[in-house]
Amino acid sequence: GQSLEQPSEVTAVEGAIVQINCTYQTSGFYGLSWYQQHDGGAPTFLSYNALDGLEETGRFSSFLSRSDSYGYLLLQELQMKDSASYFCAVRGVNYGQNFVFGPGTRLSVLP
Amino acid sequence: NAGVTQTPKFQVLKTGQSMTLQCAQDMNHEYMSWYRQDPGMGLRLIHYSVGAGITDQGEVPNGYNVSRSTTEDFPLRLLSAAPSQTSVYFCASRETGGNYGYTFGSGTRLTVV
């Protein structure tokens, strides 16, 4: 099967850097995605990593280590609007190579 | 482009009733999926489709049926609603390959009493 672990909550101040970790177990691995979801809204896609290393997209970066079954989302220059839940999702061999989501991490950005 | 459109946005059902949640996308995406979201449990995959005429079960398929007669539409049917099916339901679609990023609909908030 597939399972993922994330911290349930993270708190940081405006302008700071925060890292949200994700560890996964999966039968076969194709990639790891990250999504952002504001309260009452729909998840929005942030990034996808299939290979080891760091991918940068503006203030957000995502890292993957396949040997450690581990990834993280790095948010820099935090803004109040970054307060949201963040989900990692793993793409494995199950469910037609579809994505299984983690439980989510709630990020609170304080002024 | 409207993206992924879900209807209705809110629904209250009585136990035992049946209903269909509608989902349509206008991006010509082959992959479509239904997820349910419950507090503290992330999103769980109910059913998915890799193209018109092809559907399969996800992590939590019991009590739900799907069909995919066209590329655009992927309705989810609740056969006999139960309180355990109270949840927020999201439909999502993505293209084959690329960055594998899903586009989600705005969700249907379902309460079964």
| Per-residue CA distances from B52 to B67, B69, B71, B106 (Å) | 9, 6, 5, 22
The strand ranges marked E within B31-84 are 31-37, 43-51, 54-57, 64-66, 76-78
Q: What phi and psi values does residue B40 have, to the nearest 5 degrees?
A: 75, 5
CA distance B67 to chain A (A): 16
Query: Does residue B61 surpass a pLDDT of 80?
Result: yes
A103–B104 CB contact, under 8 Å: no
Q: What is the mean pLDDT of residues B21-37?
A: 97
DSSP single-letter state for residue B73: B
3-state secondary structure of A82: helix
Query: Does residue B31 surpass a pLDDT of 70?
Result: yes
Q: What does the pLDDT read at residue B41? A: 76
User: Tens digit of pLDDT for each residue in A16-37?
Assistant: 999 999 999 998 999 999 999 9
CA distance B12 to chain A (A): 18
3-state secondary structure of A96: helix
User: Which residues in A lie closer than 8 A to residue B31 (C-beta atoms)?
Assistant: 98
A45–B42 CB contact, under 8 Å: no
User: Tens digit of pLDDT for each residue in A33-92?
Assistant: 999 999 999 999 999 999 999 999 899 999 999 999 999 999 999 999 999 999 999 999
Query: Does residue A105 surpass a pLDDT of 90?
Result: yes
Q: What does the pLDDT read at residue B49? A: 96
A45–B35 CB contact, under 8 Å: no
pLDDT band at B96 (very low <50, low <70, confident <90, very high): confident
Q: Give the span between the Cα atoms of B38 and B35, in whole angstroms.
A: 10
* Among A106, A96, A86, A107, CA closest to A33: A86
The strand ranges marked E within A1-111 are 3-5, 9-13, 18-25, 31-37, 44-49, 53-57, 60-65, 70-75, 84-91, 99-101, 105-110
* Among A100, A38, A19, CA closest to B100: A100
Query: Does residue B40 surpass a pLDDT of 80?
Result: no
Q: What does the pLDDT read at residue B2? A: 78
CA distance A57 to chain B (A): 13
Q: Give the span between the Cα atoms of B105 and B4, in whole angstroms.
A: 5
A94 against B7, higher pLDDT: B7
- Residues B97 and B31: beta-carbon distance below 8 Å: no
**Cβ contacts from A onto B, under 8 A:** 61
The percent of residues above 70 in pLDDT, for chain B, comes to: 99
Query: Does residue B1 surpass a pLDDT of 80?
Result: no
Q: Give the span between the Cα atoms of A28 and A21, in whole angstroms.
A: 20
The token duo for B82 is 């139960």
Q: Give the span between the Cα atoms of B47 and B102, in whole angstroms.
A: 15
User: Tens digit of pLDDT for each residue in A94-104?
Assistant: 888 899 999 99
**Considering only alpha carbons, which residue of chain A is nearest residue B40?**
A103
